[in-house]
Amino acid sequence: MRVIGDDEVAEAYASGRTTFMGLKLLVAPGALVPRPETELLGTTAIETLRSMNVAAPLVIDMCCGTGNLACAIAVRLPEARIWACDLTQECVDVARGNVDNLGLGDRVAVSRGDLFGALSGQGLEKAVDAIVCNPPYISEKRLEGDRAHLLAREPREAFAAGPYGLSIHMKVLKEAPVFLRPGGVLLFEVGLGQDRQVAGLFERSAAYEAVSTVANGEGEGRVVLGHSRRS
């Protein structure tokens, strides 16, 4: 899987545009430039939702950034309704711009808040078919070391995830069952080498079953998913 470099990030911010899953999207400082590797999470979510045979799936895009996953899912699944959330106003503004530009405003809503707190009062409890999440997953130590260059142009909030790079995964995994319907699915992007750790978090929780990992073309596990238990 191709990884974009610092020059491509700078070019994306300079032009205010990037491409993700064939969609032309807006980008701006304060929101992470969507990466090609995240397309695996998008395609896996779409394929999983199709296999569930839900007529009008309800989807949450947690840590939505520019709204790239929410928009891609909405375009590929025209009956889906999606709630996208992020912590920062910068991300929310860019995501709303992309939703508007793609004419998806009737099916994609973007909210600001701390994880699922952004969805309070929406009536989504035990109703959601899928939650996709591309959270920050780089440890604080690495951001001070070999990944420090990432912070030159992009926001720290898009990368920092505690001492082990898993703090957001852990919070989302704990809170998601309140919103997932029985049999609904939670899908994460994970960093290189984190797939076994995140799969272990799923398996140690009583709330999930049918945990699996999806690898990229190089055989690296980059997506981990689990289904909400049916009973």
Ranges in the chain, pLDDT < 50 = 1-3, 139-141, 143-156, 158-164
> What whole-number distance in Å separates Cα of residue 194 and Cα of residue 224?
9
Q: pLDDT tens for residues 119-128?
A: 988 899 999 9
Q: What is the pLDDT of residue 69?
A: 98
Instruction: Provide long-range contacts, Cβ within 8 A and 24+ apart, for 6-15.
Output: 6/149, 6/152, 6/153, 8/33, 9/33, 9/153, 9/154, 10/153, 13/153
Give the closest residue to 40 by CA, choosing from 2, 96, 74: 2
Which of 171, 222, 229 is closest to 201 using CA atoms?
A: 171
Question: What's the CA dihedral at 50, 203, 186, 140 to 10 degrees?
Answer: -140
**Residue 65, phi then psi, degrees to nearest 5:** 60, -125
The amino acid that residue 39 corresponds to is E
Token pair for 219: 């055989």
In this predicted structure, what is the pLDDT of residue 162? 43
Q: Write phi, then psi, for 230 (nearest 5 degrees).
A: -80, -15
Q: What are the strands, taking DSSP E only, across the chain?
A: 17-20, 23-26, 58-62, 81-86, 108-112, 128-133, 180-189, 208-215, 221-228
For position 42, what pLDDT does the model report? 98
pLDDT attached to residue 14: 86
Domains of the chain, start order: 6-228 (3.40.50.150)
How many C-beta neighbours within 10 Å does residue 169 have? 27
Residue type, 43: T
Determine how β-strand 221-228 pairs with β-strand 180-189.
antiparallel
pLDDT of residue 139: 45
pTM of the full predicted structure? 0.89
